[in-house]
Amino acid sequence: MTDQSPAIATGASPPPTGARTPGGVRALVWGVLGALGGGALYLLVVRGEALLLDLAALGRLVLCL
């Protein structure tokens, strides 16, 4: 039991060995998510009441209330 590596002996986690996503891809994903979130926020601000009415109508059709 004396041949343990220092990371295991001290309880520290070993450094990550997997490949990380390239920075350009990560930035693209965050950009797309930001654009989707911004579009959703825009629709809520501009068409908020109409969206709520549409959701109410859809709820009546689906739930038969």
More confident residue, 29 or 3: 29
CA 8 to chain centroid: 33
Q: Is the pLDDT of residue 59 over 90?
A: no
pLDDT above 70 coverage of the chain, percent: 72
Q: Grade residue 32 by pLDDT with cuts at 50, 70 and 90.
A: very high
Q: Which amino acid is at 15?
A: P
Q: Which two tokens stand for residue 1?
A: 């039991």
The average pLDDT across 39-54 equals 89
What pTM, to 2 d.p., does this model score?
0.52
